Amino acid sequence: MGQYWKLFNLDKCEYASCGGAKMGEFFFRNYSETFLLNLLLSGQPDHNIWAGDRIILLGDYSAALPPNTVTDHDAPILKGCVVTDQPESNSRLCAYMKLDEHCKEIDTIPGTSSLLPDDTVYILRSLNKKEYVRRDIVKNYRIYPEMTREPGLSQALYTLIGWSEDPSASLSYEDTGGFVPASGGTMVALHRGAWAGNRIDTVALTDEVQKTLDEEGWTDISEEKARHVSDIYAADDH
């Protein structure tokens, strides 16, 4: 049947269904770009819906949440989604099912813009890791086939926050061996996202924001994520 995925906000106990679909069924759909970016958009009056919250794209074969995601101050529902030293409890773990039962779906965002201006550079940020991805770099990394919609930050997000014990994503890419980071090291699997459960937001990259990022020592991983997304598109002939 394949694995189904949903986008969960661990702080607000909410989720966005992504169509309640397999990753291969929603990964290339850019209709979600505006919704996701507005959902995570920070720095706008009366607009911080999910900005800065712990976000994860969870597969329905997932047993536990990533290590160090849940704290002692979290609600019991989250504490029940972590591995413990009790083997019997761990055998019954299913983070996806627990959260799916208790969280509320969010499918509209009141008061948001329907379009994010193309001439504005937006970035996706992990507040935990102090890393960011630029939308323009992902979009313009290479020339995509005429019938293919150019990727954006939603695709970069999916490569960064997926989490499950099972690697199945219904993508040709998953059979090619995975993505090897430019720095070398181990391959990056879509079900083990480096930002899974991190505090994430989206913000317009103004001169002031760029200055702050530089002063605080943030790392720009745009080129690497653009290559990762490009590899996934290429594997599926996009």
Task: Dump pLDDT digits (tens) for 67-116.
Answer: 899 998 998 889 888 876 444 444 445 888 999 999 999 877 655 555 56
Q: What is the pLDDT of residues 115-135, one digit of tens each?
A: 567 778 999 999 999 999 999
Residue type, 234: A
**Which stretches in the chain have pLDDT values below 70?**
1, 19-20, 30-32, 43-48, 84-93, 109-116, 146-148, 174-188, 238
SS3 track for 95-141: HHHHHHHHCEECCCCCCCCCCCCCCCCEEEEECCCCEEEEHHHHHCC
CA angle 230/234/237 to nearest 5° reads 140
CA separation, residue 200 to residues 29, 93, 119 (Å): 21, 26, 22
- The DSSP H or E segment spanning 56 is strand 53-59
Q: Give the pLDDT score at 181.
A: 58
Residues 70 and 95 sit within 8 Å (Cβ to Cβ): no
Rounded CA gap, 61 and 74, in Å? 23
Point out which residues pair with 7 in neighbouring strands.
Answer: 16, 57
